[in-house]
Chain A
Amino acid sequence: MKTPHHRHFASLIAVATLALAAGCHKKAVPPPPPPPPAATSPAPTATITVTPSSIDPGGSAVLAWRTTDATDVSIDGLGTVNPYGTQKVTPTQSTTYHLVARGPGGSTDATANLTVTAAAAPAPVGETMNEQIFEQNVKPAFFDYDSYEIRPDAQTVLAQDASFLAAHPTLKVVVGGYCDDRGSAEYNLALGENRANAAKQALVNGGVSPDRVRTVSYGKEKQFCTQDNEACWQQNRRAGFSLDQ
């Protein structure tokens, strides 16, 4: 029983010797020296934290980061930032904040995870949207007196509304057209219809499919503010958005 064992062992040694001989042959050239350590430029250091680490939909958290020996610090999603600082964030879905610090001494990265509880996370089909979040992101457009033209400030708001809706492609919305308390109730219903449609058209121009948006005019039947002054009338001249559920 000993003989086969012995033969086996001998052949293993032979294979190993051959292999070693081959390796030594290739490494005949002396290896290059390791790169010299940058004695004057220490590698950057970086830390990033998020407090709290978990928020409800619509909540906010504070990112805090600190780096040393870095000349270029960036955080994914936030772009280039100061070497150290804090930033309030209100993501609508769970996010990993990835910080990269680059300097003469190399680069270092750090990450922090922020969890947004499930309700706000977009699901691919049949997304459920918290109305509060919706209202925070899809803001009303305001109009001049007796007008349904989109003002420049409303254009900005509607572009943001459109990009939010484009990012949540399963949401359907109702655009409500509202008017201030002056003038004819019937005429204001028609004017509100024009306002709602002007806002709808702005959303469509911003990339929202028209079949996701329907319009209802409330004329002067639903008032947000009931005083008899221009500040109040302005509040009431709007195209407002709500989820079409």
Chain B
Amino acid sequence: MRPRKRTSLPHSRVLFLIFLLPALGCWKASAQDWVRTGTNLGAARIRLAAADFNPSSPDAPALKTTFDNTLYNDLNSAGIFDMVSKSMAPPVMPASPQQINLAQWAAAPANAAFVAFGSIAATGGRLAVYGWLFDAKNPDSPQILGKQYNEAASQDNARLIAHRFADEIITRLGGGIPGIAETHVYYIAARGGNKEVWQMDYDGQGQHPLTHLGTISLSPRASPDNDRIAFASLGRQGWSIRMYSLVLGRVVSFASVVGNTLSPAWSSDGAKLAFSASRSGDPEIYTSDANGANVKQVTTFRGPDVSPTWNPKTNSQIAWCSGRTGLPQIYIMSSDGTGVQRMTDGGYATSPSWSPNGQFLAFAWNRKYGPGAPGGQDIYIMDIASKRWTQLTHDAGRQDFPSWSPDGRHIVFQRENGGGAEIWTMLSDGTEQHRLTQSGGNSMPNWSWK
């Protein structure tokens, strides 16, 4: 076993992770689990203000509150902005470019580099929003974005428009990487002895069930085109992968030709599935076409092999979890089964998720696992090239099933801390952890691809 590598991630930002990968090698090894040094090391966040929108019709206020809160929350949780708090912002609601005084926003205490503002109106059952993004430090040519939205007037659409406008801003200011405010999280909710597949917005809003199968369903995985959810369901003959169509709103037929199939995973082009199946009595990793045809066995190791995840950058590699040496460890291999490489050096490591840029694995790891050892099961990420890892969660019970957001800046995961399991999100440096569910018995989150 190699010397223990305990890298601790400073309070750095995720852009730092993604774009300044060489810096990973500079993280100093430390004997402590949890050290944070300084703030905003490596990447300065953009100072952004989101003005409250101007209600330009009498019945707009209820929708306006939802819109304002959603927009602010989306920008605040994007991971790339230093938001001007509402109490620091000028107490004005500029409705249009003619009404904004940029100097007022650029000055202390707001000190905004950019300002988002606009108007919201609800007339004749329609919700109309005009939104702008201005560069406060460039008064001669301030406009960066000007957008208009028109949808049926409803709370849901007030949130939806706010998400869309937030994503425009994030894309424009965040290095061209699309925002995630319109994404969803699929997860498993235990209700009344059954486990069904549920869906919610990325911020925890709009939680609702998708399946009503009256059995135990696990491991939901959204297809890259957002049309289908693959999941594993317990039937009379054991486990099988099933497909829920988000377009049709029901379970559709799927040819699962191998016995006892578990833990499906989509390739990022939507053409392939990887999964675990025990045709021979020993669970192994298989791949198939997206329709279930062309099944190929990839692994042949005695012991459990489960939880595959494709390298979404290339679709030529698979990471998975194998118990072939005893306690489960994370491995990677080519998708034809060659080039097997063990990634973790001990403990109990499960549930890998491959980052969108192909460079990192997120997974659950209990480094002190053993009979009688109380150790924690936490979320870690590992740089695949160097096998250097960093611990993202600390002292908060058992975490499992990390799943990357499509922008690679966030991770959604499951946490059990003294009560039932709940779904949480955090930035992929472990900061800004937020709980998304409240009711207990929510597990196995999977972040949609877009």
The contact string, 1 if C-beta is below 8 Å from chain A, for chain B 331-367, is 0000000000000000010110000000000001010
Q: Does B175 touch A at the CB level, under 8 Å?
A: no
Contact B238 A217, beta carbon cutoff 8 Å: yes
Q: Does A223 touch B at the CB level, under 8 Å?
A: no
A221 CA to B193 CA, complexed, in Å: 10
List of A residues within 8 angstroms of B282 by Cβ: 193-194, 197
A215 CA to B218 CA, complexed, in Å: 19
Q: Does A216 touch B at the CB level, under 8 Å?
A: yes
Interface with A: B16-24, B94-102, B320-328, which one?
B320-328
B80 to chain A minimum Cβ distance, whole angstroms, is: 32
Contact A184 B400, beta carbon cutoff 8 Å: yes
Contact B350 A217, beta carbon cutoff 8 Å: no
Q: Does A200 touch B at the CB level, under 8 Å?
A: yes
B240 to chain A minimum Cβ distance, whole angstroms, is: 11
List of A residues within 8 angstroms of B237 by Cβ: 214, 216
Contact of B263 among A186, A191, A216 (CB under 8 A): A186
List of A residues within 8 angstroms of B128 by Cβ: none
Contact of A185 among B305, B366, B443 (CB under 8 A): B443
Q: Does B304 touch A at the CB level, under 8 Å?
A: yes
Q: Which of A184, A197, A215, A230 has the most CB of B within 10 A?
A: A184
Q: Does B393 touch A at the CB level, under 8 Å?
A: no
Q: Does A201 touch B at the CB level, under 8 Å?
A: yes
Q: Does more than half of chain B's interface fall in helix, strand or loop, or is it mixed?
A: strand
Contact A221 B234, beta carbon cutoff 8 Å: yes
Q: Does B73 touch A at the CB level, under 8 Å?
A: no
Known: A216-B238, A217-B239, A230-B372. A187 touches B328 (CB 8 A): yes
List of A residues within 8 angstroms of B327 by Cβ: 146
A119 CA to B215 CA, complexed, in Å: 32
Contact B444 A200, beta carbon cutoff 8 Å: no
Q: Does B119 touch A at the CB level, under 8 Å?
A: no
Known: A183-B350, A216-B238. A190 touches B218 (CB 8 A): no
- What number of residue pairs across chains A and B have CB atoms under 8 A from each other? 99
Contact B304 A190, beta carbon cutoff 8 Å: yes
B450 to chain A minimum Cβ distance, whole angstroms, is: 24
List of A residues within 8 angstroms of B216 by Cβ: 221
Contact B283 A194, beta carbon cutoff 8 Å: yes
Within 8 A of B (CB), among A205-221: 214-218, 221
Known: A189-B239, A215-B260. A200 touches B281 (CB 8 A): yes
* Complex: chain B residue closest to A195, CB-CB: B304
* Complex: chain B residue closest to A146, CB-CB: B327
Contact A194 B350, beta carbon cutoff 8 Å: no
Known: A185-B444, A217-B260. A190 touches B323 (CB 8 A): yes
Contact B323 A187, beta carbon cutoff 8 Å: yes
A193 CA to B263 CA, complexed, in Å: 13
A97 CA to B348 CA, complexed, in Å: 57
Contact B348 A183, beta carbon cutoff 8 Å: yes
* Complex: chain A residue closest to B372, CB-CB: A230
Can you add 6 more A-B contacts, CB < 8 Å, to A183-B366, A191-B304?
A146-B348, A186-B350, A187-B307, A189-B232, A194-B283, A216-B234
Residues of B that sit less than 8 Å from A by CB: 195, 216, 218-219, 232, 234, 237-239, 260, 262-263, 276, 278, 281-283, 303-307, 321, 323, 326-328, 348, 350-351, 364, 366, 369, 371-372, 377, 400-401, 443-444
20 A-B pairs with C-beta separation under 8 A: A146-B323, A183-B369, A185-B218, A186-B262, A186-B307, A187-B350, A189-B306, A190-B262, A190-B276, A190-B306, A194-B303, A197-B278, A197-B282, A201-B281, A214-B237, A215-B260, A215-B278, A217-B238, A217-B239, A221-B234
